[in-house]
Protein backbone atom coordinates (compact mmCIF):
# COMPACT_ATOMS: atom_id res chain seq x y z
CA UNK A 1 0.00 0.00 0.00
CA UNK A 2 1.15 3.52 -0.47
CA UNK A 3 1.52 6.32 1.97
CA UNK A 4 -1.49 8.58 1.79
CA UNK A 5 -0.76 12.04 0.41
CA UNK A 6 -0.55 15.04 2.71
CA UNK A 7 -3.58 16.72 1.22
CA UNK A 8 -5.73 13.94 2.58
CA UNK A 9 -3.91 13.79 5.87
CA UNK A 10 -4.08 17.49 6.55
CA UNK A 11 -7.84 17.31 6.19
CA UNK A 12 -7.58 15.03 9.21
CA UNK A 13 -6.92 17.24 12.21
CA UNK A 14 -5.10 14.61 14.19
CA UNK A 15 -2.61 14.05 11.38
CA UNK A 16 -1.49 17.64 11.00
CA UNK A 17 1.58 17.27 13.18
CA UNK A 18 3.41 14.75 11.05
CA UNK A 19 7.11 14.85 11.71
CA UNK A 20 9.47 15.92 8.96
CA UNK A 21 10.43 12.43 7.86
CA UNK A 22 6.83 11.40 7.44
CA UNK A 23 6.05 14.52 5.45
CA UNK A 24 8.93 13.80 3.12
CA UNK A 25 7.73 10.23 2.61
CA UNK A 26 4.14 11.22 2.13
CA UNK A 27 5.10 13.70 -0.54
CA UNK A 28 7.46 11.48 -2.41
CA UNK A 29 6.06 7.96 -2.24
CA UNK A 30 3.81 8.84 -5.15
CA UNK A 31 7.09 8.86 -7.06
CA UNK A 32 8.05 10.42 -10.33
CA UNK A 33 5.78 12.39 -12.59
CA UNK A 34 5.25 9.84 -15.31
CA UNK A 35 3.91 7.44 -12.69
CA UNK A 36 1.31 9.81 -11.35
CA UNK A 37 -1.07 9.06 -14.19
CA UNK A 38 -4.04 6.83 -13.62
CA UNK A 39 -3.89 3.62 -15.57
CA UNK A 40 -7.01 3.24 -17.65
CA UNK A 41 -6.63 0.20 -19.82
CA UNK A 42 -8.76 -0.20 -22.89
CA UNK A 43 -6.60 -2.41 -25.12
CA UNK A 44 -7.35 -6.10 -24.86
CA UNK A 45 -3.65 -6.94 -24.52
CA UNK A 46 -3.46 -4.77 -21.39
CA UNK A 47 -6.52 -6.41 -19.81
CA UNK A 48 -5.08 -9.84 -20.58
CA UNK A 49 -1.71 -8.75 -19.19
CA UNK A 50 -3.26 -7.50 -15.94
CA UNK A 51 -5.35 -10.67 -15.62
CA UNK A 52 -2.24 -12.79 -15.92
CA UNK A 53 -0.34 -10.67 -13.40
CA UNK A 54 -3.22 -10.88 -10.94
CA UNK A 55 -3.61 -14.62 -11.26
CA UNK A 56 0.12 -15.20 -10.86
CA UNK A 57 0.32 -13.04 -7.71
CA UNK A 58 -2.54 -15.02 -6.20
CA UNK A 59 -0.98 -18.33 -7.21
CA UNK A 60 2.16 -17.45 -5.25
CA UNK A 61 -0.02 -17.33 -2.13
CA UNK A 62 -1.71 -20.62 -3.12
CA UNK A 63 1.76 -22.16 -3.36
CA UNK A 64 3.04 -20.91 -0.01
CA UNK A 65 -0.21 -21.40 1.91
CA UNK A 66 0.41 -25.03 3.04
CA UNK A 67 3.73 -23.92 4.55
CA UNK A 68 2.21 -21.30 6.84
CA UNK A 69 2.47 -23.37 10.02
CA UNK A 70 3.88 -22.99 13.51
CA UNK A 71 7.69 -23.34 13.47
CA UNK A 72 8.38 -21.90 10.03
CA UNK A 73 10.14 -18.55 9.84
CA UNK A 74 8.87 -15.65 7.79
CA UNK A 75 12.25 -15.70 6.04
CA UNK A 76 11.58 -19.27 4.91
CA UNK A 77 8.18 -18.21 3.56
CA UNK A 78 9.92 -15.42 1.67
CA UNK A 79 12.37 -17.90 0.14
CA UNK A 80 9.61 -20.30 -0.91
CA UNK A 81 7.79 -17.45 -2.66
CA UNK A 82 10.94 -16.03 -4.21
CA UNK A 83 11.96 -19.37 -5.73
CA UNK A 84 8.45 -20.05 -7.04
CA UNK A 85 8.32 -16.65 -8.72
CA UNK A 86 11.82 -16.88 -10.16
CA UNK A 87 11.97 -20.55 -11.19
CA UNK A 88 8.38 -21.59 -11.91
CA UNK A 89 6.51 -18.44 -12.87
CA UNK A 90 9.38 -16.39 -14.30
CA UNK A 91 7.96 -13.36 -12.56
CA UNK A 92 9.87 -10.73 -10.61
CA UNK A 93 9.04 -10.03 -6.96
CA UNK A 94 8.21 -6.33 -7.04
CA UNK A 95 9.08 -5.64 -3.37
CA UNK A 96 12.71 -6.81 -3.67
CA UNK A 97 14.92 -3.69 -3.55
CA UNK A 98 11.84 -1.53 -4.08
CA UNK A 99 12.87 1.93 -2.97
CA UNK A 100 10.40 4.78 -3.03
CA UNK A 101 12.16 8.10 -2.34
CA UNK A 102 12.81 8.47 1.38
CA UNK A 103 12.88 4.73 2.02
CA UNK A 104 15.77 2.26 2.13
CA UNK A 105 15.47 -0.58 -0.43
CA UNK A 106 13.00 -3.24 0.75
CA UNK A 107 15.21 -6.24 1.55
CA UNK A 108 12.90 -9.16 0.68
CA UNK A 109 10.54 -10.52 -1.96
CA UNK A 110 7.28 -10.47 0.03
CA UNK A 111 5.85 -8.65 3.06
CA UNK A 112 5.03 -10.70 6.16
CA UNK A 113 3.03 -8.77 8.76
CA UNK A 114 2.49 -10.66 12.02
CA UNK A 115 -0.02 -9.73 14.78
CA UNK A 116 0.43 -6.02 15.60
CA UNK A 117 2.31 -5.35 12.35
CA UNK A 118 -0.04 -3.37 10.11
CA UNK A 119 1.93 -3.67 6.88
CA UNK A 120 5.38 -3.88 5.24
CA UNK A 121 6.70 -6.46 7.71
CA UNK A 122 10.16 -7.65 6.65
CA UNK A 123 10.63 -11.45 6.56
CA UNK A 124 13.28 -12.69 8.97
CA UNK A 125 14.26 -15.52 11.27
CA UNK A 126 11.39 -15.25 13.71
CA UNK A 127 9.30 -18.43 13.85
CA UNK A 128 5.55 -18.34 13.55
CA UNK A 129 3.80 -19.81 16.58
CA UNK A 130 0.31 -21.07 17.31
CA UNK A 131 -2.00 -18.11 17.89
CA UNK A 132 -0.28 -15.78 15.41
CA UNK A 133 -2.14 -14.08 12.59
CA UNK A 134 -0.01 -13.16 9.61
CA UNK A 135 -0.62 -11.29 6.38
CA UNK A 136 1.34 -12.38 3.31
CA UNK A 137 1.47 -9.64 0.68
CA UNK A 138 2.72 -10.58 -2.78
CA UNK A 139 3.36 -8.39 -5.79
CA UNK A 140 4.67 -9.89 -9.02
CA UNK A 141 5.86 -8.28 -12.23
CA UNK A 142 5.20 -10.41 -15.31
CA UNK A 143 7.65 -10.71 -18.20
CA UNK A 144 5.34 -8.32 -20.09
CA UNK A 145 5.73 -5.73 -17.33
CA UNK A 146 2.33 -5.92 -15.62
CA UNK A 147 1.92 -5.82 -11.82
CA UNK A 148 -0.43 -7.94 -9.71
CA UNK A 149 -0.74 -7.19 -5.98
CA UNK A 150 -2.68 -9.23 -3.42
CA UNK A 151 -2.57 -10.26 0.22
CA UNK A 152 -4.33 -12.70 2.52
CA UNK A 153 -4.45 -13.37 6.23
CA UNK A 154 -3.41 -16.72 7.71
CA UNK A 155 -4.13 -18.03 11.18
CA UNK A 156 -1.43 -20.19 12.72
CA UNK A 157 -2.72 -23.09 14.85
CA UNK A 158 -5.36 -22.05 17.36
CA UNK A 159 -6.00 -18.31 17.35
CA UNK A 160 -8.14 -16.21 19.68
CA UNK A 161 -11.79 -15.47 18.97
CA UNK A 162 -10.75 -11.81 18.79
CA UNK A 163 -8.17 -12.48 16.07
CA UNK A 164 -10.66 -14.53 14.05
CA UNK A 165 -13.27 -11.81 14.27
CA UNK A 166 -10.83 -9.06 13.26
CA UNK A 167 -9.67 -11.15 10.30
CA UNK A 168 -13.26 -11.84 9.19
CA UNK A 169 -14.47 -8.25 9.57
CA UNK A 170 -11.45 -7.00 7.60
CA UNK A 171 -12.19 -9.56 4.85
CA UNK A 172 -15.77 -8.29 4.73
CA UNK A 173 -14.51 -4.68 4.60
CA UNK A 174 -12.44 -5.49 1.52
CA UNK A 175 -15.34 -7.23 -0.21
CA UNK A 176 -17.88 -4.54 0.66
CA UNK A 177 -15.45 -2.10 -0.96
CA UNK A 178 -15.09 -4.32 -4.02
CA UNK A 179 -18.88 -4.48 -4.34
CA UNK A 180 -18.98 -0.68 -4.75
CA UNK A 181 -16.75 -0.77 -7.83
CA UNK A 182 -18.49 0.12 -11.10
CA UNK A 183 -18.35 2.95 -13.63
CA UNK A 184 -19.74 6.16 -12.14
CA UNK A 185 -19.19 5.17 -8.50
CA UNK A 186 -16.86 7.44 -6.56
CA UNK A 187 -13.80 6.60 -4.51
CA UNK A 188 -15.58 7.91 -1.42
CA UNK A 189 -18.23 5.19 -1.81
CA UNK A 190 -15.53 2.55 -1.40
CA UNK A 191 -13.95 4.22 1.62
CA UNK A 192 -17.29 4.81 3.25
CA UNK A 193 -18.51 1.21 3.28
CA UNK A 194 -15.15 0.01 4.58
CA UNK A 195 -15.00 2.58 7.36
CA UNK A 196 -18.62 2.01 8.36
CA UNK A 197 -18.26 -1.76 8.62
CA UNK A 198 -14.99 -1.56 10.57
CA UNK A 199 -16.17 1.06 13.03
CA UNK A 200 -19.51 -0.66 13.62
CA UNK A 201 -17.49 -3.67 14.78
CA UNK A 202 -15.53 -1.45 17.20
CA UNK A 203 -12.39 -1.35 15.07
CA UNK A 204 -10.40 1.48 13.48
CA UNK A 205 -9.17 2.18 9.95
CA UNK A 206 -5.50 2.99 9.32
CA UNK A 207 -5.31 6.34 7.47
CA UNK A 208 -1.65 6.71 6.62
CA UNK A 209 -1.60 3.93 4.02
CA UNK A 210 -4.06 3.28 1.26
CA UNK A 211 -4.80 1.29 -1.88
CA UNK A 212 -3.41 2.52 -5.19
CA UNK A 213 -3.64 2.53 -8.93
CA UNK A 214 -1.53 -0.25 -10.44
CA UNK A 215 -0.68 -1.31 -13.97
CA UNK A 216 2.75 -1.18 -15.55
CA UNK A 217 3.98 0.51 -12.35
CA UNK A 218 3.60 -0.62 -8.75
CA UNK A 219 2.06 2.45 -7.13
CA UNK A 220 0.28 5.23 -8.97
CA UNK A 221 -2.78 7.43 -8.72
CA UNK A 222 -5.49 7.26 -7.69
CA UNK A 223 -5.12 6.74 -3.96
CA UNK A 224 -7.80 4.43 -2.63
CA UNK A 225 -8.55 5.60 0.90
CA UNK A 226 -10.27 3.10 3.15
CA UNK A 227 -12.47 5.75 4.75
CA UNK A 228 -14.57 8.54 3.31
CA UNK A 229 -17.94 9.92 2.38
CA UNK A 230 -20.30 8.60 -0.29
CA UNK A 231 -20.35 10.52 -3.54
CA UNK A 232 -17.02 12.27 -2.90
CA UNK A 233 -13.71 11.93 -4.71
CA UNK A 234 -12.79 10.76 -8.16
CA UNK A 235 -15.35 8.86 -10.23
CA UNK A 236 -14.53 5.38 -11.47
CA UNK A 237 -14.45 4.53 -15.14
CA UNK A 238 -14.18 1.28 -17.06
CA UNK A 239 -10.60 0.15 -17.58
CA UNK A 240 -9.20 1.53 -14.31
CA UNK A 241 -7.05 -0.91 -12.33
CA UNK A 242 -6.37 -0.38 -8.62
CA UNK A 243 -6.13 -2.18 -5.31
CA UNK A 244 -8.40 -2.23 -2.29
CA UNK A 245 -6.41 -3.24 0.78
CA UNK A 246 -7.93 -2.11 4.08
CA UNK A 247 -5.76 -2.20 7.19
CA UNK A 248 -8.02 -2.53 10.22
CA UNK A 249 -6.84 -2.30 13.83
CA UNK A 250 -8.55 -3.97 16.78
CA UNK A 251 -7.60 -0.95 18.90
CA UNK A 252 -6.77 2.63 17.94
CA UNK A 253 -5.84 3.66 14.40
CA UNK A 254 -2.48 5.21 15.34
CA UNK A 255 0.68 3.77 13.82
CA UNK A 256 4.38 3.70 14.61
CA UNK A 257 7.13 2.97 12.11
CA UNK A 258 10.04 0.79 13.25
CA UNK A 259 13.70 1.84 12.94
CA UNK A 260 14.03 -0.38 9.83
CA UNK A 261 11.92 2.39 8.21
CA UNK A 262 9.52 -0.16 6.67
CA UNK A 263 7.70 -2.13 9.36
CA UNK A 264 4.54 -0.34 10.47
CA UNK A 265 2.92 -1.41 13.76
CA UNK A 266 -0.09 -0.34 15.77
CA UNK A 267 0.94 2.23 18.34
CA UNK A 268 -1.18 0.59 21.05
CA UNK A 269 0.13 -2.91 20.13
CA UNK A 270 -3.36 -4.11 19.24
CA UNK A 271 -3.79 -6.66 16.45
CA UNK A 272 -4.12 -5.47 12.88
CA UNK A 273 -5.45 -7.29 9.82
CA UNK A 274 -5.38 -6.68 6.07
CA UNK A 275 -6.62 -8.26 2.85
CA UNK A 276 -5.88 -7.04 -0.66
CA UNK A 277 -7.10 -7.59 -4.20
CA UNK A 278 -6.22 -5.92 -7.51
CA UNK A 279 -9.37 -4.92 -9.40
CA UNK A 280 -10.48 -3.89 -12.87
CA UNK A 281 -13.46 -1.60 -13.40
CA UNK A 282 -15.53 -3.24 -16.15
CA UNK A 283 -18.44 -1.86 -18.18
CA UNK A 284 -20.88 -3.53 -15.81
CA UNK A 285 -19.03 -3.56 -12.48
CA UNK A 286 -15.88 -5.17 -11.21
CA UNK A 287 -13.46 -7.94 -12.00
CA UNK A 288 -11.16 -9.29 -9.30
CA UNK A 289 -7.88 -9.72 -11.18
CA UNK A 290 -6.01 -11.38 -8.30
CA UNK A 291 -8.21 -14.45 -8.33
CA UNK A 292 -6.94 -18.02 -8.33
CA UNK A 293 -8.07 -21.46 -7.23
CA UNK A 294 -6.96 -20.90 -3.65
CA UNK A 295 -8.65 -17.53 -3.20
CA UNK A 296 -11.00 -17.26 -0.24
CA UNK A 297 -14.59 -17.14 -1.55
CA UNK A 298 -16.40 -13.86 -0.93
CA UNK A 299 -18.40 -13.49 2.28
CA UNK A 300 -22.20 -13.65 2.57
CA UNK A 301 -22.45 -9.85 2.84
CA UNK A 302 -21.71 -9.59 -0.91
CA UNK A 303 -23.67 -12.66 -1.98
CA UNK A 304 -24.51 -12.70 -5.69
CA UNK A 305 -21.80 -10.19 -6.66
CA UNK A 306 -20.35 -10.89 -10.10
CA UNK A 307 -16.56 -10.44 -10.04
CA UNK A 308 -15.11 -12.86 -12.58
CA UNK A 309 -14.48 -12.03 -16.26
CA UNK A 310 -17.51 -11.91 -18.46
CA UNK A 311 -17.47 -12.92 -22.13
CA UNK A 312 -17.45 -9.30 -23.34
CA UNK A 313 -14.13 -8.16 -21.79
N1 LIG B 1 2.41 -4.86 -1.59
C2 LIG B 1 2.34 -3.62 -0.88
C3 LIG B 1 1.10 -2.92 -1.34
O4 LIG B 1 0.08 -3.50 -1.23
C5 LIG B 1 3.55 -2.77 -1.03
C6 LIG B 1 4.76 -3.37 -0.50
S7 LIG B 1 6.09 -2.34 -0.81
C8 LIG B 1 7.37 -3.19 -0.13
O9 LIG B 1 1.08 -1.86 -1.90
F10 LIG B 1 8.43 -2.64 -0.56
F11 LIG B 1 7.22 -3.18 1.16
F12 LIG B 1 7.30 -4.45 -0.53
CO1 LIG C 1 -1.07 -2.75 -2.85
CO1 LIG D 1 0.22 -5.55 -1.56
For position 39, what pLDDT does the model report?
Answer: 78
For position 66, what pLDDT does the model report?
Answer: 98
Q: What are φ and ψ of residue 18, in 5° steps?
A: -65, 140
Q: Which residue, among 247, 250, 68, 271, has the nearest Cα to 155 in the 3D structure?
A: 68
* Residue nearest to ligand 1 atom 9, measured at CA: 1
> What is the C-alpha separation between 224 and 76, in angstroms, rounded?
32
Q: Show me where the domains of the chain are located.
A: 2-302
pLDDT in tens, 190-240: 999 999 999 999 999 999 999 999 999 999 999 999 999 999 999 999 999
pLDDT at position 13 over 60: no
Q: Which of residues 14 and 116 earns the better pLDDT score? A: 116
Which ligand 1 atom sits nearest the alpha carbon of residue 103? 10
pLDDT at position 313 over 90: no
pLDDT in tens, 244-258: 999 999 999 999 999
Which ligand 1 atom sits nearest the alpha carbon of residue 245? 4
Give distance in angstroms: CA of 273 to centre of ligand 2: 14
Is the C-beta atom of 137 inside 6 A of ligand 1? yes
> Which one of 3.40.50.720, 1.10.760.10, 3.90.230.10, 3.90.1150.10 gives the CATH number of domain 2-302?
3.90.230.10
End-to-end CA distance of the chain: 27
pLDDT at position 12 over 90: no
Ligand 1 pocket test target in 120, 124, 274, 276 with most atoms within 8 Å of CB: 120
pLDDT in tens, 74-91: 999 999 999 999 999 999
Mean pLDDT of all residues belonging to the chain: 91
pLDDT in tens, 142-183: 999 999 999 999 999 999 999 999 999 999 999 999 999 999
Give distance in angstroms: CA of 151 to centre of ligand 1: 10
* Residue nearest to ligand 1 atom 5, measured at CA: 1
Is the C-beta atom of 78 inside 6 A of ligand 1? no
Give distance in angstroms: CA of 2 to centre of ligand 1: 7
* Residue nearest to ligand 1 atom 8, measured at CA: 95
pLDDT in tens, 15-64: 222 222 232 333 223 333 445 567 799 999 999 999 999 999 999 999 99
Give distance in angstroms: CA of 14 to centre of ligand 2: 25
For position 29, what pLDDT does the model report?
Answer: 35
Burial class (CB in 10 A: 0-12, 13-18, 19+), 293: exposed
Give distance in angstroms: CA of 120 to centre of ligand 1: 6
Q: Which residue, among 116, 157, 172, 112, has the nearest Cα to 136 in the 3D structure?
A: 112
Q: Which residue, among 173, 188, 262, has the nearest Cα to 222 in the 3D structure?
A: 188
For position 303, what pLDDT does the model report?
Answer: 98
For position 292, what pLDDT does the model report?
Answer: 98
pTM for the predicted model, two decimal places: 0.92
pLDDT in tens, 228-241: 999 999 999 999 99
* Residue nearest to ligand 1 atom 2, measured at CA: 1
Of the listed ranges 11-15, 94-98, 243-247, 271-275, the least confidently predicted one is 11-15
Amino acid sequence: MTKALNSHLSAQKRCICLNFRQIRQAKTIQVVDNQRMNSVFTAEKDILGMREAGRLASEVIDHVAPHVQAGITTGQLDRICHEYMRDIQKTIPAPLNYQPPGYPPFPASICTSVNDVICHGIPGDKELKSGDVVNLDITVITPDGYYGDTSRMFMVGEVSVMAKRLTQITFECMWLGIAQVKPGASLGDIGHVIQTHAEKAGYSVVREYCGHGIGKVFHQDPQILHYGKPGTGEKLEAGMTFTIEPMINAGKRDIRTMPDQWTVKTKDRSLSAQWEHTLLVTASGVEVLTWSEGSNPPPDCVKGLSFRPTASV
